[in-house]
Structure 1
Amino acid sequence: MPIGIIINVLSVLIGGVVGTLAGKRFSSEFKAMLTLVFGVCAMGMGISAIVLMTQMPAVILSVVLGTAIGLKFRLGKWIHQGAVLMQKPITRLFEGHHSDLSHEAFMSTLVTVIVLFCASSTGIYGSIDAGMTGDSTILISKSILDFFTAAIFACNLGWVVSFIAIPQLIIFGALSLSAQMIFPLTTPDMILNFKACGGFLLIATGFRMANIKDFPIADMIPAMIIIMPITWLWTDFVMPLLG
């Protein structure tokens, strides 16, 4: 398993512990300002990936078409429903946990955290990238953000945030192993365009984290699935026609 996944899981685990034990020392302004910085960092990660693209039309087509597919089949809604189901057994283990939040607010926030750590575009992109190329840069960078994010959420949710590291390990590990099997079928152009496609999702994530624009991040995830076949079609069929 790529070292990036292990580091990412540990960042959530330890961040949750830190937030639970020292969360009261974090002011609301501190949390809000730090979240804005998270958004800028995500945008920077996205820009560094986008510049790697080799066929811009193929990447743009994948982002637009992939998002359309996600919106059509309401992928974001299905991911949210999956998080709701995952939240139930986790909550049972912490039924006696005291929180300043109401029961409804606690449940809603917990579902948000599960989606953020287990089904974010950054995590999915980073896990697949690490599995295919062995490059854990995205996951390690994400780990820095996740450590502080977990600490912030743990201020209100407590120990349950650290527990989310378990399903995160399972999901990211499965994605990485699947990517390793796909890698022999890829080309260098496919890999670079995949990274660029993930970069667009990272920028959209940054805008959302900074509360600038609420992009449908979960619905954009299919773009990372179709980018490779579209790159193949563009390279082998479209480009020869264009001369």
Structure 2
Amino acid sequence: MPGLGTLVNVVAITVGSGLGLALGSRLPERTRTVVTDALGLVVLLIAALNAAEVGSPALGAAVGTAAPTLIVLGSLLLGGIIGSLLHVEQRLEQLGRLVRTALTRRAAAVAAPAPADGPPSPRSSPTERFVEGFVSSSLVFLVGPLAILGALSDGLGNGIDQLALKAALDGFASIAFAAALGAGVLASALPVLLYQGAFTLLGVALGSVLPDAHIAALTATGGLLLVGVALRLLRIRDLPVADLLPALFVAPVLTAVVAAF
């Protein structure tokens, strides 16, 4: 069922936030590191399964047996050029900083200082803490390739494996966030529902339009992007995966061009 992956993700964030609020900061740093490493290895497994779609019979029948690898290569090269020229990763980071600044200023305005004859205002009001928790966790859960790759894959009918993995990552991260930043982390489940739901609907629309060969090329290209995600989780190489996201849209176009000839 399209959308199930996002619902699992939302539940994981909700449960993780509740545990974080209950546990406080008792979770050891070593435990967080080991779990993140384990999830990074699972990302590599899912990446390999998706990348194997380069050998899809439908893709081979459409473009020939030698062309699929070249299509994935061309998609990553062209997508990387487009993404780097548009500064996709940098703009996402800037957007995150702008959102945090804007909401923090609004929170500061709401928590106006007390009159001169009254008691001094607290340095960090509950409103500011809620906003910081909401914005910080929302950006972590949304500004990443898995949010887009997983939601598209779910909508295309390729299963919820990627979003289930993201749910595990987000659920564990939400424990730490909620322990440090409070109930605002719990509210971040709503933007996750809306954002990933939108990409799931896009995947459903593409799945009803794109032939199997085009979907296979998109899936194989996405598998290689997941390798970049795994390398980041394992702290091996901080690849600018967001700059490569346009490759997902280049892959079906290249497949159509090659198939036409």
Q: Same fold (TM over 0.5)?
A: yes
Q: CA distance change for structure 1 residues 178 and 231 in 2, over 3 Å: closer, same or farther?
A: same
Q: Which amino acid aligns with 1:89?
A: L
Instruction: Show CA shifts across 1:98-125 (max 9, x none).
Output: 97xxxxxx96x97664333113211201
* Selected match of 2:82 from 49, 52, 69: 69
CA contact (8 A) 1:80 1:111 kept: no
CA contact (8 A) 1:43 1:204 kept: no
Q: Partner residue of 2:92?
A: 79
The separation in 1 between residues aligned to 2:128 and 2:199, in whole angstroms, is 35
Q: Mean Cα displacement is larger for which, 84-93 or 176-185?
A: 84-93
Instruction: Show CA shifts across 1:114-147 (max 9, x none).
Output: 3331132112011111112262222123212321
Q: Partner residue of 1:236?
A: 260
Q: Quick check: 1:7 aligned with 2:37? A: no
Q: Mean Cα displacement is larger for which, 128-137 or 184-193?
A: 128-137
Q: Partner residue of 2:116?
A: none
SS in structure 2 at match of 1:25: coil
CA contact (8 A) 1:2 1:134 kept: no
* Selected match of 1:59 from 67, 72, 77: 72
The separation in 2 between residues aligned to 1:115 and 1:223, in whole angstroms, is 22
The separation in 1 between residues aligned to 2:161 and 2:81, in whole angstroms, is 29
CA contact (8 A) 1:127 1:173 kept: yes
* Selected match of 2:139 from 108, 115, 120: 115
* Selected match of 1:146 from 167, 170, 175: 170
Instruction: Show CA shifts across 1:21-60 (max 9, x none).
Output: 2142211111122222222121121111111114111112
Q: Which amino acid aligns with 2:37?
A: L
- Aligned-residue sequence identity (percent) comes to 23
Q: Which amino acid aligns with 1:167?
A: P
The separation in 2 between residues aligned to 1:171 and 1:178, in whole angstroms, is 11
Q: Mean Cα displacement is larger for which, 87-96 or 226-235?
A: 87-96
Per the normalisation by structure 2, the TM-score is: 0.79
Q: Partner residue of 2:36?
A: 35
Root-mean-square deviation (Å):
2.5
CA contact (8 A) 1:79 1:115 kept: no
The separation in 2 between residues aligned to 1:97 and 1:25, in whole angstroms, is 24
Instruction: Extract structure 1 runs of 4+ deviating beyond 4 A.
Output: 109-112
Q: Mean Cα displacement is larger for which, 77-86 or 182-191?
A: 77-86
User: How do residues 91-102 of structure 1 correspond to structure 2 at under 5 angstroms?
Assistant: 92=107, 95-96=125-126
Over alpha carbons, which structure has the higher Rg? 2
For structure 1, the residue ranges without an aligned partner over 5 or more in a row are 100-105, 238-243
